[in-house]
Structure 1
Amino acid sequence: MNKQNISKLTLFLMGLQNRFTENNLIFKGIYVTFTTGLKEFRGVGSLDEDKIKYNFNGRTQTYDIASLFEKIADDAQSYETLSLIYKERGTDILISADNKNVKMTNTEVKDVEEEVSISTNTTSKAVHSLGETSTLLNRDYYIKVGKADALLKEIGIMSKEGKIKNDKIRKYNQIDHYVELLEGILDKLPKNETINILDCGCGKSYLTFVLNYYLTEVKKKKCHFIGLDYSEGVIEASKKMAKNLGYRNMEFHALDINDYVPDKKIHVVISLHACDTATDMALALGIRVNSDVIIAVPCCHRELLNSYNYEPFKGILKHGIFKARMADILTDGMRSLLLEAKGYEVSVVEYISPLETPKNLMIRAIKTKEENDKAMDEYMKLMSSLNVYPALYAYLNRY
């Protein structure tokens, strides 16, 4: 290859070097093909900690990224053409070079199973055992079969053959709707910095893996995920899944939410189905660290059930079922009001159909201003009227 085009190639490789340096957590590999006449010579590079292990012509050596690209540019002088694919999660960058031209193109990754078809029985009718809420929906999914196959298989929604499992259609619809509900909110986050997302009581982190996939590979946002759970077992399971998927922008800690001290700016706090006052711990942490966004899908509500009373409703609340349902509403309603008092704009939406579960609300809070004194006064009056001292208020005053 001539010197002029070697110089152009070097400039393109410098761009890839900067890309790697800025975010090597989404790097997947480098695939190089040199040709001379009809002969091809291939090189493959993979990440080994912060270096690249590169095999070329049967010999494997370890390089830093700058040294590797210097070697590739030097080797290119001995061949007629070069094809280099730099693979990231969700993106392939192709550099093609010969004696006439050097060009670089970005292409969205198309998995081998992009054209996977879902069985007619699955798409055309509800699976009888799951009922009407369990059909695949007639819409453009955010988490697409084909592109997201590796993720869907790892979290158990897709079979090895590339089909959504009949008994997981409900779950597939739920995770996709979850992404839909967060789409507009996440677009409001800072665009030129790494978005740090804290999942409190993460469990096996299925939805966090889904969000990681969507933000990284679809929205092309630089992000980092932190999962907290007191169970060492589920933390180890999450670490294993992250390793299997190659999601290196994740960390998991077996830790009580109240003991967590962030070492970086937290942009988003998520709490999904954390039991009873664990949701309040997560909300309190989000408020304390001044998180830009707080998302909660509360689970069971026990705290206020046996403590609240309201004399005007005495004749109604004597019925246990009414008192329990009212406790659910008061718990989440007061959580939402206290978030407003702390400067958040709050919306409460139905996360999934009540036919699936009665615990189906999502609280979405976006930090928009300083504290709201009017909302705080209203909250204090409610505490007095209902004779309650909610856990969220207690956690905030403890720290």
Structure 2
Amino acid sequence: MENLRTLLKEQMNIDFMSAVLSGPRTKDGTAKVKVRPLMKKDTLFFQLEIFRGNQAFHKNLEPEAAAEEVLRFMQEMRQMQMDTRAASYTVLVSKKGKVTIKKKMRKEPVKMVSMSHNRKKQYVLEEGTAVPFLTDLGVMTQEGKVVHARFDKFRQINRFLEFVEDILPELPKDREVTILDFGCGKSYLTFAMYYYLHELKGYDIRIIGLDLKKDVIRHCNELSEKYGYKKLHFLEGNIADYTGVDAVDMVVTLHACDTATDFALAKAVGWNAKVILSVPCCQHELNRQIKNDVLAPVFEYGLIKERMAALITDAIRAQYLEREGYRTQILEFIDMEHTPKNILIRAVKTGKRKDNQEAIESCENALHITPTLGQLLDELRGAE
């Protein structure tokens, strides 16, 4: 770690712009750390924003102390992306603690960042920089200004890209990465993924968007062709029946309705997808099934029963993914355009299966439920 300590002490100065530490080695503890410079009473500090669970904690430290704190956090992380006015750095830490630093010089230094304590939030896709697909989708003007009525969509896209940013250490950089987006709809987030991973991060990626709406698929393909996104394609089709690929690195399923999410998750497990990002929607299945004598007074209220059934659906899904060898988190997203659901299931393949089958069965028996995902995964196991 000494080469990283030297880099931090050299670069954490007035020209430092930002850093993001991601790729936690364990599912408990710190999920991500963001670092930015901060000027207080003419003294340079560095603010560390530390994300644990659904909470964020802040520390303001002087340069030397900040460098040591970042170094300490890098003992827990796999990757850091650091930007200064003159260069960008990618820091990778192997399982054995070997540190690899990749440096890319800028053609010309960028403007000095604002160091105001209350400065405007920094987004993955910045305001003021026109992004073609955001312009065509009505989120930005030609000058890069976010349309006021679409600011929630802009925030949602950036929040989603933060989740993608966190899993970058899981995606290979030495070959083509295949991503499948089930139920892509108008594809705001599909285009955002392609733009971020290919245009900004330089990944060789192929993204396939799948949806049942013929006119939406046609429009998305027209936009993809217009932008020259040669490996972004949209197909009309059903999640349950799709067999167009043999291997997938990452599966995304956003607001796939009811059990369509289960079919997408089962497909992902069958492909041994390294990463799964899923925002479920309209979980009706367990709401029709759920029964429990102790909870009967609570279930008399339809709204309460519906919400509890939705939460239980996603928790059971997460447990099944853990059983299949995924490190799984349930995270808070931003409300989707057509649904108040704001949960995102993020799963990363580790190969370490959780011994939780008995616990899952006890829960299902107590609630008299038979989730589709469990049946689909059991069928997969039977076919192995």
What range describes the TM-score normalised by the shorter chain of this pair? 0.5 to 0.7
Pick the structure with greater CA Rg. Answer: 1
**Structure 1 gaps, min length 5:** 1-104, 116-136
Counting helix residues as a fraction of each chain, which structure ranks higher? 1
**Alpha-carbon deviation of 1:106?**
8.4
Q: 1:154·1:245 contact (CA, 8 Å) conserved in 2?
A: no
Aligned-CA RMSD value: 2.6
Question: What secondary structure, in the 3-state scheme, does the structure 1 residue paired with 2:278 have?
Answer: strand
Matched, 1:292 2:278: no
Q: 1:354·1:360 contact (CA, 8 Å) conserved in 2?
A: yes
Aligned mates of 2:372, 2:108 — CA distance in 1: 46
Aligned mates of 1:270, 1:281 — CA distance in 2: 12
Over 3 Å counting, the alpha-carbon distance change for 1:172 and 1:276 in structure 2 is: same
Aligned mates of 1:356, 1:291 — CA distance in 2: 28
**Alpha-carbon deviation of 1:395?**
2.7
Q: Identify the residue that residue 219 of structure 2 maps to in structure 1.
A: 237
Cα-to-partner distance string for 1:66-97 (whole Å, 9 max, x where unaligned): xxxxxxxxxxxxxxxxxxxxxxxxxxxxxxxx
Q: Identify the residue that residue 76 of structure 2 maps to in structure 1.
A: none
Over 3 Å counting, the alpha-carbon distance change for 1:162 and 1:218 in structure 2 is: closer
Matched, 1:387 2:364: no
Q: 2:266·2:376 contact (CA, 8 Å) conserved in 1?
A: yes
Picking from 288, 298, 312, the partner of 1:330 is 312
Over 3 Å counting, the alpha-carbon distance change for 1:145 and 1:249 in structure 2 is: farther
**Structure 2 gaps, min length 5:** 1-103, 112-118
Matched, 1:180 2:180: no
Picking from 248, 253, 256, the partner of 1:266 is 248
Aligned mates of 1:217, 1:296 — CA distance in 2: 23
Aligned mates of 2:270, 2:130 — CA distance in 1: 35
Q: Identify the residue that residue 116 of structure 2 maps to in structure 1.
A: none
**Alpha-carbon deviation of 1:225?**
0.1
Matched, 1:344 2:320: no
List structure 1 segments (4+ residues) > 4 angstroms apart after TM superposition.
105-110, 353-357
Cα-to-partner distance string for 1:216-238 (whole Å, 9 max, x where unaligned): 12111111101111222211111
Aligned counterparts, 1:198-217, within 5 A:
198-217=180-199
Q: 1:203·1:234 contact (CA, 8 Å) conserved in 2?
A: yes
User: Greater CA deviation, 184-193 or 340-349?
Assistant: 184-193
The alignment of Structure 1 onto Structure 2 pairs a total of residues equal to 270
Over 3 Å counting, the alpha-carbon distance change for 1:207 and 1:354 in structure 2 is: closer
Q: What's the % identity of the aligned pairs?
A: 36
Matched, 1:377 2:358: yes
Aligned mates of 1:109, 1:151 — CA distance in 2: 27
AA at the equivalent of 1:385: A
Q: 1:308·1:387 contact (CA, 8 Å) conserved in 2?
A: yes
Aligned mates of 2:185, 2:218 — CA distance in 1: 10
Cα-to-partner distance string for 1:111-164 (whole Å, 9 max, x where unaligned): xxx99xxxxxxxxxxxxxxxxxxxxx9222111235452122122201234421
Matched, 1:256 2:241: no
